[in-house]
Structure 1
Amino acid sequence: MYREKILEVLEKFKQGRISQEEALNILQNLPYEDLGFAKIDYHRELRKGFPEVIFCEGKTPYQVREIALAMHRKEVDVLGTRASREHFEAVKEVIDKAIYYEEARIISVKNTPLKKTKGVIGVVAAGTSDLPVAEEAAVTAELMGNTVKRFYDVGVAGLHRLLHKLDEIRKCRVLIAVAGMEGALPTVLGGLVSAPVIAVPTSVGYGANFRGLSALLAMLNSCASGVTVVNIDNGFGAAYAATLINRIGEEEK
């Protein structure tokens, strides 16, 4: 969107419809907007292909609302992660079309047409307790334009459940494997599929799990090739990386 805006301003200046000073005043406000407590990076989409994302945890409902509203006024897509119901209600007060994905804890406001990718991202979750992180990954990937297939409750404690879905899983271009406890799922998947596997350790587990540290270390020490690891409970980061992989080789529309 901002590429078109820059070209529009330059064209108006060339045609003499606006002065140099007016052009500069418009362009200097494009890179980012300073709200005092936050600086919104409006050029992120030009560099990365997707707008800046609001990490809501640690922010007040007021701060999230004002950031979302500023982005909405610029017709930028809004994606807020780790959002509480209070965050969403504050945003909903000023943006009626805001949507809340409760299990994923995501706020979304779509202002531009969705550009769909061709490949499929598979989100594979070990257990039902891992679903909040898995849904953060799945919803994020969908909002970024990917087709997502969910394979839930297929952990290694019942390996037959995973093998039953293996043919479908192998059709995915990228896989996100979400698991807590001992974190074995990505290693098992990595030995069965040719697609890249992005492992997400979750903080699910008993005391010696150390809030996900045991799963993280297990995944980092995976003996399967093609497995990469993001931080504990970072479904968003996994989805972003999977999206970048899924876009490789696709023509820009």
Structure 2
Amino acid sequence: MNKDELKIFLERIKNEEISIDDGVEKIKKLEYDDLGYAKIDNHREIRNGYPEVIYCENKSNEHIKGIIENMLKTGNNILATRATRENYEYVKDIDSDIEYYEIPRLIVIKKKKINIIGGTVLIATGGTSDIKVAEEAAITLEIFGNKVERLYDVGVAGIHRLLSNKDKLNEANVIITVAGMEGALASVVGGLTDKPVIAVPTSVGYGASFNGLAALLAMLNSCASGVGVVNIDNGFGAGYLASTINRQIES
């Protein structure tokens, strides 16, 4: 649908030739932009509430640049995950608002005001080594309009560090726990609060942690009710899910 077609379409809605509900349904199904190497779903925000996010790993610099340039036409904020410093250096001149977050490897372009959702999402990590994944979740949440509270390095090796912050667990709408090793933090937090807990296993740990598999299995087998689990090192997925939950709580 080009601009002229869209103008006619909106005029038909205005004249009540098409109902608003039917119009919304049609807009939800508008075609994507086909770049040959990528099909950009510029109307995902209409369907899902959030625009498409770029996963940069294994993409060429040229493809990342082309996708960003296309998405900028929508006027939406842009989030690109798993981006290297090299990726950023290649695309940094596209827009003056572009930012790079080194630790979580995120490229962010803010083109419109972020409307803040009411509740807070708390992110707790087992150790400092888990911050890379936690920050991927945190910045995802922030660009989607959530207030984020960070509670880092409160793992079970020193459980008093977590217990002294129990008020923060109770005040949050949603809690994300990020931990490697044996992944016990999710079960402990799940047993202390009535809030939904999203567990993120990380690949942090010694040999028998199997790059996060041990933490993943421990979290999946948690005896604490109310704990859901995303994939290993998937901070973005945890942040996206937490934002969806938080938005439902506040609506």
TM-score, L = length of structure 2 = 0.89
CA distance in 1, matches of 2:157, 2:142: 29
Greater shift, 67-76 or 219-228, is seen at 67-76
User: Does 1:188 pair with 2:181?
Assistant: no
Q: CA deviation at 1:7?
A: 6.5
Listed one character per residue, the Cα deviations across residues 1-24 of structure 1 (whole Å, up to 9, x for unaligned) are x9xx98744235689xxxxxxxxx
What secondary structure is seen at the aligned counterpart in 1 of 2:93? Answer: helix
Decide whether aligned partners of structure 1 residues 34 and 166 sit closer, same or farther in structure 2, where only a CA change above 3 A counts.
same
CA distance in 2, matches of 1:229, 1:104: 20
What does residue range 148-167 of structure 1 map to in structure 2 within 5 Å? 148-167=148-167
Q: In the alignment, which residue of structure 1 is the partner of 2:9? A: 10
Greater shift, 162-171 or 47-56, is seen at 162-171
What secondary structure is seen at the aligned counterpart in 2 of 1:124? Answer: strand
What secondary structure is seen at the aligned counterpart in 1 of 2:149? Answer: strand
Q: CA deviation at 1:211?
A: 0.3
Amino acid at match of 2:241: A
Q: CA deviation at 1:90?
A: 1.8
Decide whether aligned partners of structure 1 residues 200 and 9 sit closer, same or farther in structure 2, where only a CA change above 3 A counts.
farther
CA distance in 1, matches of 2:205, 2:5: 50
CA distance in 1, matches of 2:13, 2:248: 36
Q: CA deviation at 1:112?
A: 2.1
What does residue range 97-116 of structure 1 map to in structure 2 within 5 Å? 97-116=97-116
RMSD of aligned residue pairs (Cα, Å): 2.2
TM-score, L = length of structure 1 = 0.88
Decide whether aligned partners of structure 1 residues 116 and 8 sit closer, same or farther in structure 2, where only a CA change above 3 A counts.
farther
Listed one character per residue, the Cα deviations across residues 67-114 of structure 1 (whole Å, up to 9, x for unaligned) are 011101221221100111111122212122111111111111112221
Between the aligned residues of both structures, percent identity stands at 54
Decide whether aligned partners of structure 1 residues 184 and 249 sit closer, same or farther in structure 2, where only a CA change above 3 A counts.
closer
Q: In the alignment, which residue of structure 1 is the partner of 2:205? A: 205
CA distance in 2, matches of 1:14, 1:119: 35
- Runs of 4+ off more than 4 Å: 5-9, 12-15
Greater shift, 166-175 or 222-231, is seen at 166-175
Q: CA deviation at 1:169?
A: 2.1
CA distance in 1, matches of 2:121, 2:63: 32
